[in-house]
């Protein structure tokens, strides 16, 4: 047995990831700037970057300098765009890594220029109110922009998955800001996954797919259902016969209605399987769905396997696909009222990730 599959692990299907990214690229008809921040949404940034390399993306998007450093150390040579604002003391390390920062203040633009920095992108705030220069204030930066013209400019849509006209409003603000710049930057980009799905082709120079590459979302473009990429699995490590009325797990939140057979799975919230799934989650064992019973604990989760010829060592799937059955990440996250993004990113806590397919 592979030592990584002794208890709980995440199978990562890199071929499915590539197919999702390719579908988004064809939809956008623009070069991709895939977002692989937060360790590629918890699935392994280095492996994901290598898997996407054959699609020849323009570059990769990250959130932090540390993420850029990890990619460079692994030999990733493509452009790396850092989207979270960096502080002055990080400028020299950014230059050393050959990474591309994003700025929204004159002070940082000029400091970058004076430090000998290369290409950078202008962050334009159009409604998210998170980072960047407000669209109506771009003229405040004219002196800095003339001294150090940006290679690119971008904004971020806050509700592209909602049909409420805010995308159009933000886009109009972005266009207005770009028109007021001293010169048009070479690369303009704005579209996240739902924005790419909402229309085709893209009106911009780059497209920034994120979570849909990893198997989440797809409601905006009905013809596109992202393939599942992450599959959380765990071993059955014990079996118990539970008598009528007996409880399972902490605080006795579940009691047996008649004699039941309960399996203990070697996975818990320390592996990213959330406590919220207590009495609400499911697993697939031997081709059948079984309910989670009782509280999810730090290292173990119990499921009702009554009537199933279940044995210790069997593999349970708590998220993703197992043969013809599929526990969809969107469905299961909505059931407990959390974002599928949160669930996906949380899978990197302890369970090892095993990559399959191109780039593994």
Q: Which residues are catalytic?
A: 37, 250
| Residue the block writes with tokens 């930066």 | 141
Residue 327: CB atoms within 10 A of its CB come to 20
φ/ψ (deg, to 5) at 91 = -60, -45
Q: At which residue do the structure tokens 């592979």 appear? A: 2
Q: Could you give phi then psi for residue 149, rounded to 5 degrees?
A: -60, 135
Concatenated DSSP letters of 334-346: HHTT--HHHHHHH
Nearest alpha-carbon partner for 40 in 353, 358, 356, 357: 353
* Alpha carbon 350 to chain centroid, angstroms: 17
**Which position has the token pair 């990197």?**
348
Q: Read off the DSSP letter of residue 96.
A: H
- The DSSP code sequence of 103-172 is E-SHHHHHHHHHTT----EEEEESSS-SSSEEGGGGGGGHHHHHHS--SEEE---S-TTS-SSHHHHHHH
Count of all residues that appear for the chain in the document: 360
Residue 236 · residue 264 · CB < 8 Å: yes
DSSP state of 278: T
Nearest to residue 299, comparing CAs of 214, 215, 239, 237? 237
The C-alpha atoms of residue 208 and residue 189 are separated, in whole angstroms, by: 7
Tokens of 91: 């400028």
DSSP 8-class letter at 35: B
Rounded Cα–Cα distance for residues 15 and 18 (Å): 5
How many CB atoms are closer than 10 A to CB 241? 11
């Amino acid at each position: 047995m592979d030592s990584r599959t002794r208890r709980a692990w995440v199978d990562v299907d890199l071929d499915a990831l590539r197919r999702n990214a390719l579908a988004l690229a064809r939809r956008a008809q623009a070069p991709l700037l895939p977002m692989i921040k937060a360790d590629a949404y918890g699935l392994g940034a280095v492996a994901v970057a290598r898997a996407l390399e054959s699609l020849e993306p323009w570059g990769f998007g990250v959130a932090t300098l540390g993420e850029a450093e990890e990619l460079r150390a692994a030999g990733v040579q493509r452009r790396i765009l850092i989207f979270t604002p960096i502080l002055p003391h990080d400028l020299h390390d950014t230059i050393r890594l050959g990474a591309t920062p994003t700025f929204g203040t004159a002070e940082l633009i000029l400091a970058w220029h004076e430090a000998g920095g290369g290409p950078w992108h202008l962050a334009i705030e159009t409604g998210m109110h998170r980072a960047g220069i407000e669209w109506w204030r771009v003229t405040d930066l004219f002196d800095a922009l003339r001294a150090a013209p940006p290679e690119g400019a971008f904004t971020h849509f806050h509700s592209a998955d909602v049909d409420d006209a805010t995308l159009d409003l933000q886009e109009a603000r972005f266009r207005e800001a770009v028109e007021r710049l001293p010169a048009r930057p070479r690369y303009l980009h704005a579209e996240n996954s739902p924005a790419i799905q909402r229309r085709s082709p893209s009106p911009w120079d780059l497209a920034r797919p994120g979570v849909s590459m990893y198997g989440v979302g797809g409601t905006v473009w009905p013809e596109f259902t992202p393939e599942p990429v992450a599959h959380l699995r765990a071993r059955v490590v014990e079996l118990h016969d539970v008598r009528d009325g007996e409880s399972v797990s902490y605080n006795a939140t579940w009691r047996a209605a008649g004699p039941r057979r309960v399996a203990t799975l070697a996975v818990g919230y320390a592996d990213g399987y959330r406590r919220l799934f207590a009495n609400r989650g499911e697993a697939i064992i031997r081709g059948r769905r079984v309910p989670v019973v009782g509280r999810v604990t730090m290292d173990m989760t119990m499921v009702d396997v009554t009537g199933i010829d279940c044995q210790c060592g069997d593999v349970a799937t708590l998220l993703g696909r197992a043969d013809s059955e599929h526990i969809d990440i969107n469905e299961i996250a909505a059931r407990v009222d959390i974002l599928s993004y949160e669930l996906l990113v949380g899978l990197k806590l302890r369970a090892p990730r095993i990559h399959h397919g191109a780039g593994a």
